[in-house]
Structure 1
Amino acid sequence: MNQIVADLSVLLGLAESLAWATALAFVRIGAVVALMPGFGDPAVPQRIKLALVVCLTLVVAPLLAERISATEVPPSLLALGGEAVAGLILGIGMRLFIASLQTAAAMIAQATTLSQLFSGVAPEPQPAIGNLLIIAGLALAMAAGLHVRAAELVLLSYDVLPAGVHHSAAAAADWGLALIGRTFSLAFSLAAPFVIASLIYNLALGAINRAMPTLMVSMVGAPALTLGGLALLAVATPVLLAVWLDAFMSHLAQPFAVVP
């Protein structure tokens, strides 16, 4: 009888540890999914998001239970708040790469005079090129296994952001600033061919205007610039998306190894 009670006590301890690890993983994964590209968009129903959080929690919690028992994180609201902050940090890191596509699209649209083309279709005001790049980028990320990479990201994050440990605000701010600089640099790199082509075209148009003052170069040059921008967009979009996807997957593999 005593042996049965002892076995039940051991099982109860394991169940308590697993339940607490599940609660910690659920809070962190919920914060990640709330900002995750694709799944965290407002167009996705809340039930789909909840189902994804539950599925990822079932994957992560058994692996996390060993670490929780080893570090002996006591159940508390402070620990749950730290997990929410850690999840928001990871989610913001992924969301910044979507912002890089939006920034690149805004630069491209301004350089090619396409900034006002169907600008009111999307819920968020942005040029049509932004919708094109974001939808294509999300499709590529999903095809590359974004949900699997997200689960790996959560597991790797416990090495840098352990459960139940106070996270440094200064370190998080430094990491965020470095990642913002990296994503803005990526956005400018994606838009650079269009900006350079627009600059060269406008310089040539200015030289023609000085040589032929009577010619209305704006009437001739604006349609040509738009046509050239669309042609360059058709040729360069696959390359731009490949560069963006490679940078995004590199971030998911090493989220805290930021190289400005």
Structure 2
Amino acid sequence: MIAIPPELLAHLGEGLWQMFAVFLRVSALVSLLPTFGERSIPVRVKLGIAAAFTIIVAPALQTPEITPAFRSMITLIGSEILTGLALGTGLRLFVLALQTAGSIAAQATSLSQILGGAAVEPVPAMGYLLTIAGLALAALLGIHIRAAQFLIHSYTLFPMGTVLLAPDLSGWGVMQVSRSFGLAFALATPFVIASLIYNLALGVINRAMPQLMVAFVGAPAITFAGLFLLFAGTPLILSVWSDALFDFFGNPIGVP
């Protein structure tokens, strides 16, 4: 048998504890990360992705020495999982922004009932299409590389073992949610404007010709206008959305 020196065993044990600490934050973030944290992806695949990110991120960090004591480990596990979930939630809100924008656009153009249950989550077809297109675009633009860089830089903002304070976390969360809804409404603005013009025109026609069934005349028009805006405006919508997503990767806490 080959005798392993005790110094090597101690070094290997310390390295495993550091990898475990990094895995806590990485796995929590990967569970909510766009494209990698979707419900359609099996849990085993997510676990493999988290392990791969851990192998990439851990060598780039200068982690402090970890003492495997009960209290310190409980604090470390709780703080790292909370940090990963907070950052992952900030990223997940961008996917929710696309779904909300699609719901607003579908409601404005009377297309909310077309293929409403086609997705895993009950969203209109517009929201499902925008979400799938946004995730595909994020994957093409290298979200896995940005996510690895984001995880490495997150240890500069929140060193290992840092406990997030409730007032700071709640204020940051409210800011992210408000920005998500603002982004969703901004992405759906062309559909809202088209719906406003349509309803104003329909009201004028109804006042001019009360005998005409304007709803039967206007329904195909607003359907065509909604589909045309979806066809023509999706590239611009996804461009604005991807810029906002990658801006969050560079500045997650919103510092001017």
TM-score by length of 2: 0.92
Note the C-alpha offset of 1:141.
Answer: 0.3
Residue identity opposite 1:52 in structure 2:
I
1:177 maps to 174
Residue correspondence of structure 1 range 203-218 to structure 2 within 5 A: 203-218=200-215
Indicate whether 1:17 and 2:14 are aligned. Answer: yes
1:245 maps to 242
Among candidates 132, 140, 143, match of residue 143 of structure 1 = 140
Among candidates 95, 100, 125, match of residue 98 of structure 1 = 95
Residue identity opposite 2:84 in structure 1:
G
1:68 maps to 64
Among candidates 223, 226, 231, match of residue 228 of structure 2 = 231
8 Å contact from structure 1 (residues 28, 83) kept in 2: yes
Tell me the distance in 2 between the aligned counterparts of 1:167 and 1:10.
35
Indicate whether 1:89 and 2:80 are aligned. Answer: no
Tell me the distance in 2 between the aligned counterparts of 1:174 and 1:12.
44
Would you say how many aligned residue pairs link Structure 1 and Structure 2? Answer: 250
Residue identity opposite 2:188 in structure 1:
A
- CA deviations on 1:39-73 (whole Å, 9 max, x unpaired) are 11121122211111111111111222x2324xx67
Gaps of 5+ in 1: 1-7
Instruction: Quickly say closer, same or farther: Cα 1:73–1:108, change in 2 above 3 A.
Output: farther
Residue correspondence of structure 1 range 53-64 to structure 2 within 5 A: 53-64=50-61
8 Å contact from structure 1 (residues 33, 40) kept in 2: yes
1:45 maps to 42
Among candidates 31, 34, 43, match of residue 34 of structure 1 = 31
* Structure in which a larger fraction of residues adopt helix: 1
SS in 2 for 1:68: coil
8 Å contact from structure 1 (residues 31, 84) kept in 2: yes
Structure 1 segments (4+ residues) deviating >4 Å: 8-13, 72-75
8 Å contact from structure 1 (residues 73, 164) kept in 2: no
Residue identity opposite 1:123 in structure 2:
V
Note the C-alpha offset of 1:123.
Answer: 2.1
2:184 maps to 187
Note the C-alpha offset of 1:14.
Answer: 3.7
Instruction: Quickly say closer, same or farther: Cα 1:73–1:111, change in 2 above 3 A.
Output: farther
2:111 maps to 114
8 Å contact from structure 2 (residues 39, 120) kept in 1: no
Moved more, 98-107 or 39-48: 39-48
Superposition CA RMSD, Å: 1.7
Q: Structure 1 vs Structure 2: percent identity of aligned residues?
A: 48
Tell me the distance in 2 between the aligned counterparts of 1:89 and 1:201.
41
Moved more, 196-205 or 249-258: 249-258
1:5 maps to none
Tell me the distance in 2 between the aligned counterparts of 1:47 and 1:207.
58
1:4 maps to none
Tell me the distance in 2 between the aligned counterparts of 1:60 and 1:13.
22
Tell me the distance in 2 between the aligned counterparts of 1:126 and 1:97.
15
Tell me the distance in 1 between the aligned counterparts of 2:68 and 2:179.
37
2:160 maps to 163
Tell me the distance in 2 between the aligned counterparts of 1:258 and 1:181.
16
Instruction: Quickly say closer, same or farther: Cα 1:217–1:73, change in 2 above 3 A.
Output: farther
SS in 2 for 1:125: coil
